[in-house]
Amino acid sequence: MKTRTLARAFVSLAIMGGACLPAAAQTQSAETTYEFLKASQDRVWRLNRQTGEIAVCTLEREALLCSTSNGAAETPPTTYEELKQRDAAELAAAEEKDQQERERAMKLIDRMVEVFKEFASEVPAK
């Protein structure tokens, strides 16, 4: 009976030791994977050297909470010139729409003036 209890204790210790070993290895690789730079009293920037991902980390109590940049190291899908061209095209389209609205409003005003002239011409003069 004592042998079984002692064997279980060794098995539990081996399992716990095995579980702790990867955590220790992970900590060591995390130290070489990440680079930290102090940003303020309670914030740091974290750079993942392997992926290029940047995160801002805040110290809250005893925990370090990090928000990742989600692809900050990747090339954007559109270039600056393409963005400028798209903005210029959107501005031109908006100006064209405004011009069409002005022309429509002026035609409406012209029609109203014509109707007013007709009413004014039909009123007998005293």
Average pLDDT over residues 65-75: 68
Cα–Cα distance measured from residue 73 to residue 100, given in angstroms and rounded to the nearest whole number: 44
Residue type, 31: E
Token pair 């069409």 is found at: 100
- Supply the pTM of this predicted model: 0.37
Average pLDDT over residues 32-42: 83
Q: Does position 32 have pLDDT exceeding 80, yes or no?
A: no
Q: What is the pLDDT of residues 71-120, one digit of tens each?
A: 555 666 778 888 899 999 999 999 999 999 999 999 999 999 999 999 88
Output the pLDDT for position 122: 83
Average pLDDT over residues 63-73: 71
